[in-house]
């Protein structure tokens, strides 16, 4: 039986991956948005998030092991991942369910900050864990640029057509 922290890391990644997929409705509203030329194909997002969240879960395990049973270190890791969980989970409903890419653009700043905090905060426990978060940071940076381009091409949002 795997250690509880391994199960928790896997659960974190699976809940975010599945939850993000469920909350991402590619319907007529989204299809009709003007998108920038650098937008990847829709099919790429699922595999990209699977790899990124898998790496982040591996980073959690490495950091937890690196904390070596230190309660303060373990608490810091839990807080970093909990804050990131909330930031990550909010973006899709704002963009796809509420249909407010402008609000999602504001929220992605907090998501990005939470990923940067993971990158920096895990380093004392595992340098490799910190590096495993870098693809997440790059992808969220790209997503923020893409989100900004969609807002620029389609705004304003929240007003009747």
CATH code of the domain containing 118:
1.20.1260.100
Residue 54 tokens, joined: 């898998």
The whole-angstrom separation of Cα 32 and Cα 19 is 24
- Would 23 be classed as within a structural domain? yes
- What is residue 159's predicted lDDT score, i.e. its pLDDT? 65
> In the 8-state DSSP scheme, what is residue 24?
-
Q: What interhelical angle do 4-22 and 45-67 show, nearest 10? A: 160
- Which residue's entry shows tokens 């049973």? 69
User: Could you give the angle at the alpha carbon of 61 between the alpha carbons of 57 and 67, nearest 5°?
Assistant: 140
Which domain range does residue 94 map to? 4-154
Residue 142 inside a domain? The answer is yes
In a domain, 14, yes or no: yes
Q: Is 154 helix (H, G, I), strand (E, B) or coil?
A: helix
Centre a 10 Å sphere on the Cβ of residue 12 and count the other Cβ atoms it contains.
19
Q: Is the pLDDT of residue 56 over 60?
A: yes
Q: Report if residue 159 sits inside a domain.
A: no
- 160 domain residue, yes or no: no
In this structure, is residue 129 part of a structural domain? yes
Best CA proximity match to 58, nearest among 138, 99, 118: 118
Where residue 76 falls among pLDDT bands split at 50, 70, 90? very high
Q: Please tell me the pTM assigned to this model.
A: 0.93
Mean pLDDT of the region 81-107: 95
Residue 139 domain-assigned?
yes
Angle at which helices 45-67 and 71-92 cross, to 10°: 170
**Token pair 């890391």 in the structure block, residue:** 9
Note the pLDDT tens digit of each residue in 2-47. Answer: 799 999 999 999 999 998 888 888 889 999 999 999 999 989 999 9
The pLDDT of residue 50 is above 80: yes
Q: Is residue 124 part of a domain?
A: yes
Listed in sequence order, the residues at least 6 apart from 31 whose beta carbon sits closer than 8 Å to its beta carbon are: none
Domains in the chain, number: 1
pLDDT at 23: 80
* pLDDT tens track for 109-160: 999 999 999 999 999 999 999 999 999 999 999 999 999 999 999 988 876 5
């Amino acid at each position: 039986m795997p250690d509880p922290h391994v199960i928790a890391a896997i659960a974190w990644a699976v809940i975010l991956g599945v939850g993000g997929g469920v909350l991402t409705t590619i319907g007529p509203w989204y299809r009709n948005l003007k998108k920038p030329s650098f937008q990847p194909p829709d099919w790429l997002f699922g595999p990209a998030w699977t790899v990124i969240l898998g790496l982040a879960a591996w980073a959690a395990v490495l950091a937890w092991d690196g904390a070596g049973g230190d309660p303060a270190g373990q608490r810091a890791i839990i807080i970093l991942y909990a804050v990131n969980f909330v930031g990550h989970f909010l973006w899709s409903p704002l963009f796809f369910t509420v249909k407010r890419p402008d609000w999602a653009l504001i929220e992605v700043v907090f998501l990005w900050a939470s990923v940067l905090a993971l990158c920096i905060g895990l380093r004392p426990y595992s340098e490799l864990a910190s590096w495993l978060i870098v693809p997440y940071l790059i992808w969220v940076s790209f997503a923020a640029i893409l989100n900004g381009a969609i807002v620029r091409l389609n705004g304003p949002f929240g007003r009747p057509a």
